[in-house]
Chain A
Amino acid sequence: MCSLALFPPPLPSGQTTLCESNNELLSGTTTEDQLKQESSPLSLYFPRESLKLHSRTESSSKAAFLDHSETLWMRSAAAWRDGGLTGLLNEITTSHTEVPKWLSMSSGCILALLQKVSSFHGSLFPHLTLSSEDMIAEFSQVLNWSDCVVRAFAWHPHTDKFAVALLDDSIKIYNPKSATTPTLKHRLQRSVAAVQWKPLCASALAVACQNCLLVWHVDPCSLSTRPSSGCAQVLSHPGHSPVTSIAWSPSGSLLVSASPMDTAMMVWDVASESCVPLQRVGGGGVSFLSWSPDGSHVLASTPSALFRVWETRMWTCERWPCVKGRCQSGCWSPDGSRLLFTVQGEMVIYALTFTDTPAGVPTSTSQGPQAAAVVADLSETTFNTPDGDIIVGGEIQSLAWDSTGERLAVLLKGDPHAADRPAIIAVFKTRTSPIFELLPCGFVQGERGAEPRLMQFHPSFQHGALLTVCWSSGRITHVPFYFLSAGVPHCGLSGSPSLPRPQTVPADFANQSLFTELMS
């Protein structure tokens, strides 16, 4: 079952995907002028050169100062402050000329023992040895996060505004209805891994940073372009950093955060700045979170070959061990009944179906499925294009499902070293009721040389689905998919496009179902 073979071939280079209309993807040749000309206020371009990057990290400034001798006590105190117990032991061991022999010997032994233990721990969970920047890059939903100009992106759940986190650790908020674009900067806002707006709120934006979580309160009526750092709440918990993933509950009352270093997932009551750690041993941390749109479940994947699905009424979880690798990405159907996820090292998309709990039984856990079903196979497929053969497929970086549940976008990693294996976004048409179906739609491609890094669907687009893609060039574009949602009753009042329903289209490849539940 090779799904990608049924896709229309990728566009020749130089052509970009513009939109979907009448059930087909339209493309066009775009040049720089055209891009500038037709760009809507929401299409943005952040050239890498325009960002002021801080090149030095704090630890590297040490080299700039001359070494000068301090007393052993001072050095020990400094080592304790900077490096904790390990630093102190290290300091004592290295300055063996000044301390008694037994002390330096014993601290050397303890140090060796500590290193043995940590290396053993590290061999169980290899990710623990990564630096926090590398860890964010490893577990981020963004492709090649450390090299990305746009590091995180979030649409507001109810309005047309969005937040963009950039490489220089600033966050900009764009709103087509307002002339001001507030820029958020904070001392603790470093290495932003994810941003998300609070649902049912106009102002709160949660930011996952290297050492903490920030919740900004950006007054939408304010004319200030630089909100002070007093507008940000700092949420931190010892041992809970770096934060790689956050998720607001759809009801806007709770925020969960995850760190691959911490086996506990934090559930925050943001207003009172208190948190409840939900600790489960196994997995070595939590790397990715996704809250189902109906609020009933939370997907929490770990750095090991294991992920959990929490139900949010009594906060119990189901364990889902994977065979091959960790769960890389996941997304929920709009009604929260179906979870699609991908596993690192595999080229398929799995689905899990959750049936509703019997109503009125408050303490029963949800009756989950027994095993995941493969719904799409994205193994490598060769397409013949005028520019030569292009190989599409492979491992999956992230998944996104639009709020109507009719378009599923899959960001394929590709191979950065091979020119004929680009990273690409494959879009599927999906139907969730009465049965789950998957049909091919097409590839979304950008301008020449730009590869997709990050994508997100607009949560409340009126005319179908709107996919926002952040490209490696620093450009942010929006690809609309115009269709009539099957879930919304057609009233024919608005000038809707002619029925682009999959059933009514004459038989061609687009009509061939890749997966239906009837097959399995």
Chain B
Amino acid sequence: AVLLLGPITAALVILGRFSLFHPIQTISVIPTIACSKIALLGQLLHPRQLVNSAVHCVMGIVVAWCCAITIGGRYETLGYTCPQSDGSSQMCLNEYHLILLLAGAFVGLSYSLLGVIHNMNYISFHTVQQYKYLRFKGALPLVVKCSATQALYSIRNFIVVYFFLGYIPKAWFCKTLNLYLNSSVHPLDSIAGLLDLSLVYHLWISASFLLFTWHITLVLFRIFVTELYSFPVQSSFTEDAHQCLAKVLNEKQPMILKFLALQDLALLSQHSPSRRCQVFSLSQPGGHPHNWNAISKECLSMLTDLTQRLVAYHDTVATNGRAKSLSTGSERKTSSETSVTSGTEDLMSPRPTLLMKTPASVFARSVVGTPRTPLTAPFTPDLDSPFASPALRRLTAPVEQCSPWFGTVQSPHVKNFLAKRVLIMYLFNKLPEASSQALFADSQAHIWALEGLSYLVQASFSEDQFGVVQTALPSILSCMLVLQEAVDRHFKLPHASSKPVRSTGSMGDSTHKTLRFALRATLKTAIYRITTTFGDHLNAIQMSAEHRKRLQQFLEYKE
């Protein structure tokens, strides 16, 4: 305990410093999902990531230095005076100090790399609302456990690395700082040196402390960012109008605000009769249901967007990913769009373009208005130019060019040629589930939209005095049914319905891996919520025969 006292005071300094360097811009509510190994490698070698890793290394060294000072004893300084055999004394390198600093750097590096692999920058929203303190308290045991185990693994790896490569930094330090190696002391990069249990313990405890600090920061950040924020549905003052729920919902950036607004919508529609009443209200001069119109339109366009994405993906897969000429591509695009719009009437015609950036685009077609070839590029085409350095550009340039080979292998001899290069295949092969995950990467928004809409519609049965919801009911229903059809079709694809391995004991959030299942369940529940509330009244609604058939299945509880 005494041992930890010092580091904890040092923690304050570290935390202050850390927040300065904290790359907040990398945190996102939509996970980036690498569709192939090479994409993951690209993410790891991304300049931003390199800077991030370097900062983490430096932080690790600083914390390790603090630890070395507080532990004291043999760890305290980098150099010490050692008597020579001839009686004179000189400055020698204290290897214990060095190994602690290097361990800090190594743990920092591995933390930052594992962060990319485990999607540590992704913030998921909880299904259960809790107060911040309780949530923090609940997360604390996991944080301690994770830090301890991750530190253990990192230290194990570090010891292996140090055993083989430890002489390099040792020699470098000796050379640059003009220190000598004390030949009478056992070198640490030997089996006997590394079997020192007290040393391993100290390494582990300082690594645990370092990781604990970072994990706590991460947990606190997540808790505060995802905290429920209540947006006013209607503001009485015009200067506050930009804070209104409908206004924020229709904004595209920043994403976190949109997500918070959707979360608020889902909760208000479920729990708050008075705020629902505001949603259903009419504007005072004019008598238009502006609030409801804005909210429902935004939710529906999001759902339609997802439907289009699914349909386009399904078409790409169904045609075995063969690259099509531009004309057929664009032709099919319009046909798919019309088939969707036919259901939802003209509701989305005002905004046929993309609303959100497609997450980690599995395909970059149809949603982006430009006529791009429907490539299933294995590379995540991050539009804000990740590859700044020319060396990386050179690395990635062939990838961009050859990308049609992998998703879309056309000629057999190309295939054979590639098969010989096992490593390349390994790197470029699509990870089976990843494309499915990437399609649904931002589905938390769709889940809230579905919940919000369905709860509002359910409440409208008794609360909507002016019948504002009734007018939108056909389009809501058909939008949901079309989406249901698309989701059903998607789940028939191979790998789409295979469950990911549950990873426990990691700070990374794996919620994004199961978002598609959550969306499917929510969608079904949302349709049932509407059909159970309205019952046979739904027969009075105008809709296509196919949709009516589908709806009848729901009315008879056969879905």
* A interface residue numbers (CB < 8 A to B): 156, 158-159, 200-203, 220-221, 251-254, 267, 269-274, 276-279, 313-316, 359-360, 362
Contact = CB atoms under 8 A, between A and B. Distances in A.
B517 A271 contact: yes
B514 interface: yes
B525 interface: yes
Contact of A269 (B127, B499, B557): B127
Contact of A271 (B128, B131, B138, B521): B521
A279 B455 CA distance: 29
Interface in B241-276: 267, 270-275
Interface in B122-136: 126-131, 134
A254 B518 CA distance: 11
Interface residues of B, number: 37
B129 A315 contact: yes
Contacts of A202: 528, 557-559
Given A200-B529, A271-B518, A271-B522, A254 B128 contact: yes
A202 B499 CA distance: 22
B131 A316 contact: yes
A267 B126 CA distance: 11
For the complex of A and B, the 9 pairs showing the least CB-CB separation, nearest first, are A272-B514, A271-B521, A359-B274, A200-B528, A202-B557, A360-B274, A271-B518, A271-B517, A269-B127
B418 to A, nearest CB: 35
Contacts of B273: 359
B129 A313 contact: yes
Contacts of A272: 511, 514-515, 517-518
B228 interface: yes
Nearest to B526: A200
Contacts of A201: 521, 524-525, 528
Contact of A200 (B271, B274, B511, B532): B532
Contact of B128 (A203, A252, A315): A315
Contacts of B524: 201
B550 interface: no
23 contacts: A158-B532, A158-B557, A200-B525, A201-B524, A220-B557, A251-B270, A251-B455, A252-B525, A252-B529, A253-B127, A253-B451, A253-B522, A271-B514, A272-B514, A272-B515, A272-B518, A276-B126, A276-B128, A276-B130, A277-B138, A313-B271, A315-B134, A359-B273
Contacts of B528: 200-202, 252
Interface string B130-158: 11001000100000000000000000000
Contact of B520 (A220, A271, A274, A314): A271
Q: Which of B270, B271, B499, B557 has the most CB of A within 10 A?
A: B557
A159 B553 CA distance: 13
B502 interface: yes
B514 A274 contact: yes
A358 to B, nearest CB: 9
Nearest to A202: B557
Contact of B138 (A156, A252, A276): A276
A273 B272 contact: no
A181 B48 CA distance: 59
Q: Which of A159, A251, A279 has the most CB of B within 10 A?
A: A251
A276 B127 contact: yes
Contacts of A278: 128, 130
Interface in B480-529: 499, 502, 511, 514-515, 517-518, 520-522, 524-525, 528-529
A69 B405 CA distance: 62
B539 interface: no
Given A253-B522, A254-B128, A272-B511, 17 more contacts: A158-B532, A200-B525, A202-B528, A202-B558, A202-B559, A251-B270, A252-B525, A252-B529, A267-B127, A269-B127, A271-B514, A272-B515, A274-B511, A274-B514, A278-B130, A313-B271, A362-B272
Contacts of A314: 129-131
A220 B558 contact: yes
A251 B529 contact: yes
A201 B554 CA distance: 9
Contacts of A267: 127-128
Interface string B528-559: 11001000000000000000000000000111
Contacts of A362: 228, 230, 267, 271-272
Contacts of A254: 127-128
A273 B500 CA distance: 11
Nearest to A360: B274
Interface string B446-475: 000001000100000000000000000000
Nearest to B131: A314
Contacts of A269: 127, 518
A182 to B, nearest CB: 14
A162 to B, nearest CB: 13
Nearest to A359: B274
A388 B525 CA distance: 54
A278 B130 CA distance: 10
A253 to B, nearest CB: 7
Interface in B169-194: none
B322 to A, nearest CB: 33
A359 B277 CA distance: 11
Contacts of B514: 271-274
A251 B557 contact: no
A220 B525 CA distance: 16
Contacts of B271: 313, 362
A203 B557 CA distance: 8
Contacts of A158: 532, 557
Interface in B337-369: none
A156 B511 CA distance: 30
Contacts of A271: 514, 517-518, 520-522
A269 B499 CA distance: 15
A277 B524 CA distance: 26
A250 to B, nearest CB: 11
Q: Which of B270, B514, B521 has the most CB of A within 10 A?
A: B521
Interface in B97-141: 126-131, 134, 138
A440 to B, nearest CB: 34
Nearest to A233: B499
A201 B228 CA distance: 28
Contacts of B128: 254, 267, 276, 278, 315
A254 B522 CA distance: 11
A159 B556 CA distance: 8
Contacts of A156: 557
B332 to A, nearest CB: 32
Contacts of A359: 272-274
Nearest to B531: A200
Contacts of A251: 270, 455, 525, 529
A354 to B, nearest CB: 15
A400 B514 CA distance: 37
